[in-house]
Amino acid sequence: MLQLMVNGQKHELDIDPDTPLLWALRDHLHLRGTKYGCGIGLCGSCTVHVDDRAVRACLVTVSAVSGKAVTTIEGLGTGSQAVQQAWRELEVPQCGYCQPGMIMASVALLREKPSPSNDDIDAAITNICRCGTYNRVRQAILAAARKREASDA
């Protein structure tokens, strides 16, 4: 039995320990906000947080994250409100498929760098979007950072 802590809840899973976290989340824990896009860690649609850092869930096995805190788009708490609000105000999503991954990557970036530069965003947001939401993603990250600064001040 593998123990998984996802969105603050403990789960016991009787699955192959080599199962990628992505498929454990989607097919065993029924958390389908985390998406499959490439399976090789390039597109970022499966981005989740493991101990607060952005991780591509298709590349880590469930056994590797056992005992760590996994957060998915469904479990994003109040810390992400500024990001999601900026996303909403700037009407970022189009088809929406890559957006949970984009949001997870952005929340992790802002946690690490509360006032990211454009270069920081370039380096951190390597997620692929086929609809072309990139410029709005960038603007939303910058807007969320400003919003947080304003509320912290």
Partner 1 sequence: MPELKLTRRAFLIRSAVAGGGLLVGFHLPAATKLAAEPLVAPAGEQPVEVNAWIVIQPDDSVVIRVARSEMGQGIFTALPMLVAEELGCNWNRVRAEYALASVNLQRDNVYQSMSTGGSRSVRSSQELLRTAGAMARELLVAAAARRWGVPADDCQAENSVITHTPSGRTVGFGAVAAEAATLEPPQNVFLKEPDEWQLLGKPIPRLDVPDKIAGKPVFGADVEVPGMLHAAISACPVFGGRLKGFDAAAIEQRPGVVSVVALDAAVAVVAESWWQAQQALQALPVTWDEAGNGQVDDAQIRANLEAGLNVDDAVTMAEHGKPALAFQSAQRHIEATFYAPYLAHATMEPMTCTAAVHKDGRVEVWVPTQNATASLEAAARIAGVDPRQVEVHNTQLGGGFGRRGAYQDFVEQAVHIAKAVSRPVKLMWSREEDTQHDFYRPASMAHLKAALDGEGRLTGMVVRVSAPSILISLGRKADDGHDPLALQGLADTFYAVPNLRADYVLRRLHVPVGFWRSVNHSQNAYFREHFLDQVARATGQDPYAFRLDLLKEAPKQRAVLEAVAGYAGWGKPLPEKTWRGIAVETSYGSHCAQVAEVQVEDDGRFRLLRIVCAIDPGHVVNPDTITAQVESAITYGLAAALFGEITLRDGRVQQANFNDYPMLTLRQMPRVETYIVASGDFWGGVGEPPLPPVAPALCNALYAATGKPIHSLPLSAHGLRPA
Residues in the site for partner 1, rule: CB under 8 A? Answer: 15-16, 19-20, 23, 26-28, 30, 32-40, 42-43, 45, 72-74, 84, 87-88, 91-100, 103, 121-123, 125-138
Minimum Å distance from CB 52 to partner 1? 18
- Between 28 and 111, name the residue whose CB sits nearer to partner 1: 28
CB 62 within 8 A of CB 5: no
- Between 50 and 57, name the residue whose CB sits nearer to partner 1: 57
Residue keyed to tokens 């699955």? 15
Would you call 7 helix, strand, or coil by DSSP?
coil
Minimum Å distance from CB 146 to partner 1? 18
Minimum Å distance from CB 64 to partner 1? 15
- Between 23 and 50, name the residue whose CB sits nearer to partner 1: 23
Nearest to 41 by CA among 53, 55, 52: 55
- Between 8 and 96, name the residue whose CB sits nearer to partner 1: 96
Minimum Å distance from CB 35 to partner 1? 7
Burial 89-115 (b: 16+ CB within 10 A, else e): ebebbeeebbbbbbbbbbbbbbeeeee
CB 115 within 8 A of CB 121: no
Cα separation, 2 vs 88, whole angstroms: 37
